[in-house]
A and B are shown apart, each in its own frame.
Chain A
Amino acid sequence: MTTIDTTPTTVPDFGDTNETDRKICFILSKGTLDMAYPGLIMANGALGEGIEVHLFFTFWGMDMINLKTMDHLKFTILGNPATHMPQGLGGLPGMTAMATHQMKKQIADLDVPEVPEFLQLLVDSGAHLWACKMSVDMMHLDEADLLDEVEGIINVANFMEISEGAQMVFV
């Protein structure tokens, strides 16, 4: 073992002494692949920076934590001019399946996991998952229908308490 020279030098600031307790809450309201991923990727980045992260799933965002739908999120050309495809094509049989397959492949090529595995990754990194009570009621769901890692079914008032002092991102 060599002697350790502890002469001061430039050391990166990893924010360990930072007392600001930065916190970000993501409200995820969409369940298509192209709307699910942006929030998940940003949440993952925030967790990697040591930031406290809460994800609140509401409306179609529930599809990400609903055990029946989480493995079957789709992507469609219909109503999405950003695909630069003729909108009429999107209505043809099989087009949504094809577009979904293509997008999943592109995401997998980047070694980004599918949504259920991604949620597990976020939870392992310390994220907190919450389900929206009104959406749960509206869709006639209960806790058993949701991913185990969801910490609770909460109303907006509960979420406002959790998100106090946080930065908010709505997707």
Chain B
Amino acid sequence: MTTATIAGKEVTIDDEGFMTEYDEWTEALGQALAIQIGIDMTDAHWKAVRFLREDFAEQGVTPTLRRVSTIGGIPTKELFALFPKKPAKKMAYISGLPKPVGCV
């Protein structure tokens, strides 16, 4: 674990750059993280990120793509359009959460 300064705030990150402390995250940080990976946040992006945050708070694990689609109500196709190529990992990164561990 190491620290980094993102959007003027010192946060804890892992070796890959994923934030590790749930409570250190703010929406301003999420915005900054999105810019770092080339994603321009829209309302649709925020809907996904807010679902990830809420679901993690309840379940204690990062939701898988299928869960974001079935429980979060955002169709799989849309998730691939919003967060191209690796939607599950990109959403987790922007949301300040660990990568999902579930397979499906």
Contact check, B76 vs A9: say whether CB atoms are below 8 A apart: no
Q: State in angstroms the CA–CA spacing of A1 and B29 once bound together.
A: 11
Interface residues as binary, A79-119 with B (CB distance below 8 Å gives 1, 0 otherwise): 00000000000000000000000000000001111000000
Contact check, A48 vs B35: say whether CB atoms are below 8 A apart: no
Instruction: Select which of B13, B37, B76, B80 is within 8 A of A14 by beta carbon.
Output: B37
Q: State in angstroms the CA–CA spacing of A2 and B67 once bound together.
A: 31
Find residues 1-26 in chain A having any chain B CB closer than 8 Å to their own CB.
1-7, 9-16
Q: State in angstroms the CA–CA spacing of A146 and B5 once bound together.
A: 54
B93 cross-chain contacts in A, Cβ below 8 A: 12, 14
B85 cross-chain contacts in A, Cβ below 8 A: 14-16, 49-50
Residue of B whose beta carbon sits closest to that of A2? B28
Contact check, A41 vs B104: say whether CB atoms are below 8 A apart: yes
Q: State in angstroms the CA–CA spacing of A8 and B17 once bound together.
A: 11
B76 cross-chain contacts in A, Cβ below 8 A: 121, 124-125
Contact check, B7 vs A44: say whether CB atoms are below 8 A apart: no
Q: A14-B86, A15-B86, A44-B104 are in contact. Are A2 and B7 (CB under 8 A)?
A: yes
Contact check, A113 vs B66: say whether CB atoms are below 8 A apart: yes
Q: State in angstroms the CA–CA spacing of A33 and B25 once bound together.
A: 42
Q: State in angstroms the CA–CA spacing of A126 and B13 once bound together.
A: 32
Find residues 84-102 in chain B having any chain A CB closer than 8 Å to their own CB.
84-90, 93
In the assembled complex, the CB of B100 is this many whole angstroms from the nearest CB of chain A, namely: 9
**Known pairs A11-B36, A14-B93, A49-B85 / 19 extra A-B pairs, C-beta < 8 Å:** A1-B28, A4-B7, A6-B35, A6-B36, A9-B5, A9-B13, A10-B17, A12-B16, A12-B17, A14-B86, A16-B38, A44-B103, A50-B85, A111-B67, A121-B66, A121-B69, A124-B76, A124-B80, A125-B65
Residues of B within 8 A of A (CB): 2, 4-8, 13, 15-18, 28, 31-32, 35-38, 65-67, 69-70, 75-77, 80, 84-90, 93, 103-104
